[in-house]
Amino acid sequence: MGCNRSCGLLTVAIIGAVLAILGGILIPVGNHFVEKTIKKETVIENGTTIYSNWIVPGSPVYRQFWFFDVQNPEDVMENGSAPILQQKGPYTYMVRYLPKENITEHEDATVSYLLPNIALFQPDMSVGSENDTFTIVNLAVVAAPTLFPSMVQIMDLLMQSSKSKFLQTRTVKEILWGYEDPFLKLIKIPSIDKVVGVFYPHNETYDGPYRIYTGKDDIKKAGIIHSYQYNRTVNYWEGHCGMVNGTDGSSFPPFVSKDDKLYMFSSDICRSAYGIFDSEQTVKDILLYRFSVPEAITAAPSVNPDNICFCTDKEISDNCTTGGIIDISSCKEGNRGKMGGFGTINLCGLV
Ligand SMILES: *[C@@H]1O[C@H](CO)[C@@H](O)[C@H](O)[C@H]1NC(C)=O
Ligand SMILES: *[C@@H]1O[C@H](CO)[C@@H](O)[C@H](O)[C@H]1NC(C)=O
Ligand SMILES: *[C@@H]1O[C@H](CO)[C@@H](O)[C@H](O)[C@H]1NC(C)=O
Ligand SMILES: *[C@@H]1O[C@H](CO)[C@@H](O)[C@H](O)[C@H]1NC(C)=O
Ligand SMILES: *[C@@H]1O[C@H](CO)[C@@H](O)[C@H](O)[C@H]1NC(C)=O
Ligand SMILES: *[C@@H]1O[C@H](CO)[C@@H](O)[C@H](O)[C@H]1NC(C)=O
Ligand SMILES: *[C@@H]1O[C@H](CO)[C@@H](O)[C@H](O)[C@H]1NC(C)=O
Ligand SMILES: *[C@@H]1O[C@H](CO)[C@@H](O)[C@H](O)[C@H]1NC(C)=O
């Protein structure tokens, strides 16, 4: 028996209906199943899929630096002229590739750990070598008056005898990770560390302890920091600026929507920040959302009033009208009682 046109239409309709029903069933079942699996496997505890990826991030984490080179150092030092700056970078380091240490699970669905600090130079992702030199401010000379206010005259003499100037030329490696300073070497106080550098000391030190939610009781909290160094706040900034918000940046809770603000805390810049939805990306046919840190994060308080508590020096910031930079000196100086550095951190987009 042949099939006429209306039979054909009927078949199509039935198949269509079946598909529609299958689709109708499959999607919610699929979602429910996927959702359940995600909820189970993204809890940060021994045995879940995410756990080993959490101990050591499965994909490399890089940190990049740009430097401002003073082009007219003599003119600046002799005549007090405005510096002519040339930006150069990036100089890229791979970080966070060591496993977290002292992982301790707690009763209240939290886990604490230490992040080992490590940085490995990546020549192929950098504009030059770690031996490239830059003329920048002399960290020790600039910091001395604040650190030893009662000894300004002695400091002046020591600076002269060590031929230390306000500007100095140093390699990338020295500026970031530390060098022995000739001027500090002359200060015969044993408790003063003679090594300076923006991130000194780094290797073989630890960041933390961090204590984060595992997500076991509420998956929306997985990875969110419960406390950093046993505290909910950092004391470098007043009020909401000192709040420790979000995750440590290496992971975020699942089920992100485009309207979310993804908060993270970075001890390198001593503060929390957030990413907002930037664009859709496709990787291996999987749709992804790219979040990036908005300019508002470091905008001048006159543009974004929320940032008023990040403005710590009214003179340098022209009464809080300067944007795009954050002054992390108070946080770096307090660094384990050692003199640290000064930095202008360029917040890079986060993928
Ligand atoms: C996870 O649990 C297994 C079995 O209980 C244990 O052998 C392993 O050491 C644990 N891993 C970590 C990182 O604690
Ligand atoms: C300082 O200024 C004087 C006068 O303008 C100029 O002749 C001299 O070259 C400047 N010094 C340097 C190091 O540029
Ligand atoms: C890790 O824990 C062990 C044992 O509790 C302790 O001895 C060690 O000092 C801790 N490591 C760090 C870096 O605090
Ligand atoms: C840190 O230690 C690693 C491994 O030992 C080494 O390769 C790297 O060069 C060190 N980085 C610095 C900045 O000293
Ligand atoms: C950088 O300088 C060090 C010490 O002088 C040297 O061993 C190293 O080979 C240099 N690296 C490059 C890439 O030039
Ligand atoms: C936590 O930080 C606040 C504000 O900086 C400070 O007053 C408090 O003493 C700190 N608490 C602990 C336990 O360190
Ligand atoms: C921390 O989060 C709160 C909202 O929960 C916000 O008001 C505050 O500005 C945030 N602070 C920082 C430094 O991101
Ligand atoms: C900042 O404001 C004060 C008072 O309004 C004013 O006296 C001072 O000149 C201002 N400083 C700068 C750098 O604009």
Task: State pLDDT tens for residues 132-155.
Answer: 999 998 878 877 776 677 777 777
Q: Give pLDDT < 70 ranges for the chain.
A: 1-31, 146-147, 332-351
The end-to-end CA distance of the chain, in Å, is 62
How far CA 72 is from CA of 65, 69, 78, 81, in Å, comes to: 22, 9, 10, 9
pLDDT of res. 146 = 67
CA of 116 to the centre of ligand 6 (A): 24
Laid out side by side, the sheet with 85-95 consists of 61-70, 85-95, 119-121
| Atom number in ligand 5 closest to CA 131 | 1
Q: What are phi and psi of 169, to 5 degrees?
A: -110, 125
Whose C-alpha lies nearest to ligand 7, atom 8?
240
> Using CB atoms within 10 A of its CB, is residue 326 exposed (0-12), middle (13-18) or buried (19+)?
buried
On average, the pLDDT of the chain sits at 81
Whose C-alpha lies nearest to ligand 8, atom 7?
319
Q: Which long-range contacts (CB under 8 A, 24 or more apart) does 75-78 make?
A: 76/166, 76/167, 77/165, 77/166, 77/167
pLDDT of res. 143 = 72
Residue 231 Cβ inside 6 Å of ligand 6? The answer reads yes
Q: What's the whole-model pTM score?
A: 0.80
Whose C-alpha lies nearest to ligand 3, atom 2?
102
**What's the rounded Cα separation, in Å, for the pair 205 and 311?**
29
| Atom number in ligand 3 closest to CA 102 | 1
Q: Would you state the structure tokens that stand for residue 340, as one six-digit string?
A: 């640290």
Measured from the alpha carbon of residue 235, the closest ligand is 6
pLDDT of res. 91 = 93
**What's the rounded Cα separation, in Å, for the pair 307 and 100?**
32
